[in-house]
Structure 1
């Protein structure tokens, strides 16, 4: 009998995990591309992930649980889900694995257990896909394009049908647009296929032709000429901010709804997960704002604190990555301080986040002040929430409240909980959560009512995912979710 060394046994064990992950990836792909069923692990995307990345996500789950969820547990659950023949859904197999553990469900009883848990997946869903037009193709527009193309799945949700810019459409501009979509200095290369079709004046993304429409005015466009109908227009230009200006989109043939990726005036400002229930799709309202990246980051956390401890007052300080409206070198700027070189200076500037939160959480109106400091990083921001609460707490209790919110409840997609004592801004880039609570940095004063929370957020990618969640909601493309 040949004996193996501990080292050889470790290699064998890891190979077994790799083989299980390969099987899981096959199921993930089959469910997503054929049935529009997306499996995630504690809200982390699994589709199109490498073996090592998926194993790493399983290992990291120990920060949320006493014992890490294994790939063998999630593979067994995924295999059963494949047998259930569900309608389009988004299902967290990490959460299910924890429930299976807690209930001590064995393999023989797993099918019945999951069938009951996921029984609502085949009820009360809308599968009519919606056409989406991106009006503008800047930082948020290109990330939205990536996500819309990657998330097309079986084509039963949001479908990117066109992109509107002010460019003259020619070989040069199409090539530049394609290059900017394909390569990104912050978020890395787009893993899909990007090509151009000059004859059709279009980008070709993963084999799908997306016309690039040149227009100076939104009302001049006839989307029906491109086979587009009942379209949701996602305006990410920042050029139109109020009800009157945004209404111009609705004068275009084929457009029926508008979503602004910035704070809006005179239109509902919605942070998905917090106040999207204010939307009544049966009413005439057809223009919405997804608020700002900062508002999306702090509102979910503030909602949890308000529900559990009651906020008396507070101050929000955002340490924000520099943005495109600042100067690279010192030059004239219409706003104070923003004219100084963004890559060399910390720049104090204003933010409307404190006021904007009141539009989302009316109970906090008049209770919060806010300010911002732009710092020399291109992405990845931090909000410092200094709050006075009514109910006494301590650091352990406060962190426990926030941790539970990331595992159960209405805000599991919006908030992540980090116990990493080495966490820095670059670590949170490309996080799909709106907010990442830095638990080791939480401070509670000796009086028990003065608290300070540090909340990280990817002001581009995390915000883009919030826009996507809200877009699905207002577009009426419903799918069963299980977290």
Structure 2
């Protein structure tokens, strides 16, 4: 075959691949909007992805399982899912496709295979949608709002009904709030529409009304005036951090659950995937989603503790600067944080080392921790230096993390990264709170000391953990197949 013939054949194949991807995108959208069935590819989101992004995710999937995952196979499995009568669900089509390739000879076709794998889905009970109020509209609040509105679908799970801010509401304020939601210097433009409704003090997000409420005190608000009942309040102000302060939300009419997006005192601190099942939302009314760093390291520590046991260790987090720091040198209540954030590496403290014990009591008193804020606006790195109770190796640690990212209770939390070229900007936009850098793992010659590198998008990844926990608290978690 000549060079030109080979080239023409390659062009034809790429055209076929892209046509198949367009077909796949339509099936993904139809399943989501018609049946509230969300497809993901090894936990990577597929909704609102373009053709190139879908194909790149398939390349990653093939590397991950060391077996080609073809878009043509994904289309076949997606079509099979579409033919079945399933309840609202979240299904990993990458895992299904991989398993079908392994055992397809046992089934007449893809539909028979998928029906067998998902036969337990119909046992899932019905879901009652939950109203959500965002109390505060800063970095985390806006990302949570984006996620809730992008994933609204048919509205069977969490429904964002209101956002509470302080200060007056007028045309300028509402338009600025809309602009901040619409545009983001780190995470890019919102993949939807945001319009300020001046007359009704609301934002129209993707065609849906979200009321903007101005209030200085939680207990002053009557949410029922806005048709909001039995709501979950997600407090991301940072102003209310303990049981007493957070309980003020429960004095509002129309609220029955509260979720704090920061470490909390006197309330359960939850790392979803690790300890959320220990607290029954029928009994507990106030939850904390802990911190971004705690959510990054705890899933990794859980896997290591279960497999090897941890004698002791140290956490050093190389953290993006935050709004708490000064843009230029100025007075700050904490040492060093007053120095210009975008010009300096700043040593500061983190409570993540001790906070881990709230989710993993077996690590109580075993971890020290510190933090270095660095001149990047987002994207952080946690370095765990662990003395283990039993011996391991680089290969064994990496195999453990890969298995944890592929199956079990931590699949939403741990992403196994294969790239030799990974840098902080590459992980911006990752929905996993823990991105395990398999190429950076170090194990000492005595096989008892392991140094692990965990990347995390301290805004986006954490926001997804908040939403996962919110779904658990609201009891709107769908059937999942991971």
The 2-side partners of 1:105 and 1:357 are apart by: 46
Post-superposition CA distance 1:91-139 (Å, at most 9, x none) = 0000011111111347733222211211122213231000000000000
The 2-side partners of 1:203 and 1:30 are apart by: 26
Q: Do residues 429 (structure 1) and 431 (structure 2) align?
A: no
User: What is the aligned partner in structure 1 of residue 315 from structure 2?
Assistant: 316
Q: Do residues 350 (structure 1) and 353 (structure 2) align?
A: no
Post-superposition CA distance 1:207-242 (Å, at most 9, x none) = 001110000000000000000000000000000000
Bigger shift: residues 111-120 or 26-35: 111-120
Post-superposition CA distance 1:417-451 (Å, at most 9, x none) = 11211100000000000110011100000000000
User: What is the aligned partner in structure 2 of residue 100 from structure 1?
Assistant: 100
User: What is the aligned partner in structure 2 of residue 276 from structure 1?
Assistant: 276
Kindly indicate whether the alpha-carbon contact (under 8 Å) linking 2:104 and 2:113 is maintained by their aligned counterparts in 1.
Answer: no
Runs of 4+, deviation exceeding 4 Å: none
1:176-215 aligned within 5 A = 176-215=176-215
- The DSSP-based 3-state class of the residue aligned with 1:313 is strand
1:333 CA drift (Å): 0.3
User: What is the aligned partner in structure 1 of residue 294 from structure 2?
Assistant: 295
- The DSSP-based 3-state class of the residue aligned with 2:246 is helix
The 2-side partners of 1:419 and 1:457 are apart by: 15
Kindly indicate whether the alpha-carbon contact (under 8 Å) linking 1:126 and 1:478 is maintained by their aligned counterparts in 2.
Answer: no
User: What is the aligned partner in structure 2 of residue 441 from structure 1?
Assistant: 440
Kindly indicate whether the alpha-carbon contact (under 8 Å) linking 1:387 and 1:450 is maintained by their aligned counterparts in 2.
Answer: yes
Kindly indicate whether the alpha-carbon contact (under 8 Å) linking 1:135 and 1:165 is maintained by their aligned counterparts in 2.
Answer: yes
Q: Do residues 372 (structure 1) and 371 (structure 2) align?
A: yes
Kindly indicate whether the alpha-carbon contact (under 8 Å) linking 1:271 and 1:290 is maintained by their aligned counterparts in 2.
Answer: yes
Kindly indicate whether the alpha-carbon contact (under 8 Å) linking 1:125 and 1:480 is maintained by their aligned counterparts in 2.
Answer: no
Kindly indicate whether the alpha-carbon contact (under 8 Å) linking 1:126 and 1:476 is maintained by their aligned counterparts in 2.
Answer: no
Kindly indicate whether the alpha-carbon contact (under 8 Å) linking 1:319 and 1:381 is maintained by their aligned counterparts in 2.
Answer: yes
Bigger shift: residues 59-68 or 390-399: 59-68
Bigger shift: residues 3-12 or 201-210: 3-12
The 2-side partners of 1:289 and 1:63 are apart by: 36
- The DSSP-based 3-state class of the residue aligned with 1:104 is helix
Q: Do residues 69 (structure 1) and 73 (structure 2) align?
A: no
Number of aligned residues: 482
1:34 CA drift (Å): 1.2
What TM-score comes out, normalization by structure 1 length? 0.98
1:322-401 aligned within 5 A = 322-401=321-400
Gaps of 5+ in 1: none
- The DSSP-based 3-state class of the residue aligned with 1:64 is helix
Kindly indicate whether the alpha-carbon contact (under 8 Å) linking 2:431 and 2:464 is maintained by their aligned counterparts in 1.
Answer: yes
The 1-side partners of 2:289 and 2:374 are apart by: 24
Kindly indicate whether the alpha-carbon contact (under 8 Å) linking 1:125 and 1:478 is maintained by their aligned counterparts in 2.
Answer: no
1:91-130 aligned within 5 A = 91-105=91-105, 108-130=108-130
The 1-side partners of 2:3 and 2:124 are apart by: 58
Kindly indicate whether the alpha-carbon contact (under 8 Å) linking 1:249 and 1:258 is maintained by their aligned counterparts in 2.
Answer: yes
CA-atom RMSD in angstroms: 1.3
Post-superposition CA distance 1:362-412 (Å, at most 9, x none) = 000011100000000000000000000011111111101111110011001
1:262 CA drift (Å): 0.1
1:3 CA drift (Å): 11
- The DSSP-based 3-state class of the residue aligned with 1:379 is coil
Gaps of 5+ in 2: none
Post-superposition CA distance 1:148-179 (Å, at most 9, x none) = 00010111000000000003110000010000
1:4 CA drift (Å): 6.2
Bigger shift: residues 204-213 or 113-122: 113-122
User: What is the aligned partner in structure 2 of residue 50 from structure 1?
Assistant: 50
Distance 1:307 1:17, change over 3 A: same
Bigger shift: residues 473-482 or 259-268: 473-482
1:249-288 aligned within 5 A = 249-283=249-283, 285-288=284-287
Distance 1:441 1:3, change over 3 A: closer
Bigger shift: residues 464-473 or 106-115: 106-115
Kindly indicate whether the alpha-carbon contact (under 8 Å) linking 1:158 and 1:477 is maintained by their aligned counterparts in 2.
Answer: yes
1:65 CA drift (Å): 1.5
Kindly indicate whether the alpha-carbon contact (under 8 Å) linking 1:385 and 1:453 is maintained by their aligned counterparts in 2.
Answer: yes
What TM-score comes out, normalization by structure 2 length? 0.98
1:148-187 aligned within 5 A = 148-187=148-187
